[in-house]
Amino acid sequence: MLSSMILGRYIPGDSVIHKMDPRSKIIMTVLFMAIVFMANNTLTYAALILFVLFVLALAKLNPIFVIKGLKIVFVLLIFTFLMHLFLTKGGTVLIDAGWFTIESEGIVRGVFIGTRLVMLVVITTIMTLTTSPISLTDAIEKMAHPLKKIKVPVHEIAMMMSISLRFIPTLMDETDKIIKAQSSRGSTFMTGKVKDRIKALLPIIIPLFVSAFQRAEDMAIAMEVRGYTGGEGRTSFRVLKWTFKDTLGIIFVILFGVLVWWLRT
């Protein structure tokens, strides 16, 4: 159930997209998001879809796998579509049932906004699927560096982010283990009345918290004994390297933006 979810997951690989600098990937993603909001007719939306499929191919990701992994998002998608279907008025009236009408503009808007949503989710998913969480936070730290001038604790925030990201898989494993241990003891949090199910969560949550705090404490001690005192003067083990393909990628996205601008009505 949880295992097929790919939101926020990273799959190591060797595609061009994997090898790009995380900073350029963030910039390209943001640019693409802006472009998504420029699209306003069939042609531009079609261009967006083609572009995303092209990027998926470059990243050597199977579109079917990505779509399947984003099942949860589709609930949101259907909701958006239905909202537009019933609430947007204009065009010809297709169905008139007295207390509600469905008009052609509603369908068009529903499809467009739905596509927009999917494109936004898929492109950010491509970014996280192809970039390790650690390099993402590295990139964010580098890019937010100027904010230090106005006393934003950039390094500390980035450190917190990378520690949290680092522990997500560990905690998932831990949860899995504890669920298994308690299930073996006959704990039934999958069946029964809602009240019973909530009660059955305690045997899972309590050990999880205990071990999370234990880990946090161990981590703090380990950092302290190794002389961690914050970001001042720290160098990085993984050095981010901006290459020609990063520049090229950004130019390509900008050109695509120009194309969409030209095609929109």
**Would you tell me which residues interact with another protein (CB under 8 A)?**
3-4, 11, 62, 65, 68-69, 174, 177-178, 180-188, 190-191, 202-203, 206-207, 210-211
Minimum distance between the CB of residue 119 and another protein, rounded to whole angstroms? 22
Minimum distance between the CB of residue 260 and another protein, rounded to whole angstroms? 31
Minimum distance between the CB of residue 207 and another protein, rounded to whole angstroms? 5
Give 41 or 214: the residue with its C-beta nearer to another protein.
Answer: 214
Minimum distance between the CB of residue 144 and another protein, rounded to whole angstroms? 32
Give 5 or 258: the residue with its C-beta nearer to another protein.
Answer: 5
Q: CA separation (Å) from 110 to 48, 60, 96, 261? A: 16, 30, 18, 22
Give 44 or 131: the residue with its C-beta nearer to another protein.
Answer: 131
Cβ 143 vs Cβ 26: under 8 Å: yes
Minimum distance between the CB of residue 191 and another protein, rounded to whole angstroms? 5
Give 41 or 188: the residue with its C-beta nearer to another protein.
Answer: 188
Give 101 or 188: the residue with its C-beta nearer to another protein.
Answer: 188
Cβ 162 vs Cβ 219: under 8 Å: no
- Please name the residue ranges forming H helices in the chain: 16-19, 22-38, 42-58, 63-69, 71-87, 104-130, 133-143, 154-184, 194-199, 202-225, 244-263
For 208-235, b/e burial (b = at least 16 CB within 10 A) is: beebeeeeeeeeeeeeeeeeeeeeeeee
Cβ 121 vs Cβ 8: under 8 Å: no
Cβ-based neighbour number of residue 16 at 10 Å: 12
CA 152 from chain center: how many Å? Answer: 24
Question: Rounded CA gap, 100 and 92, in Å?
Answer: 14
Question: Rounded CA gap, 29 and 52, in Å?
Answer: 11
Minimum distance between the CB of residue 142 and another protein, rounded to whole angstroms? 29
Minimum distance between the CB of residue 163 and another protein, rounded to whole angstroms? 21
Give the residue from 69, 96, 83 showing the smallest Cα distance to 3: 69
Give 104 or 170: the residue with its C-beta nearer to another protein.
Answer: 170
Give 11 or 58: the residue with its C-beta nearer to another protein.
Answer: 11
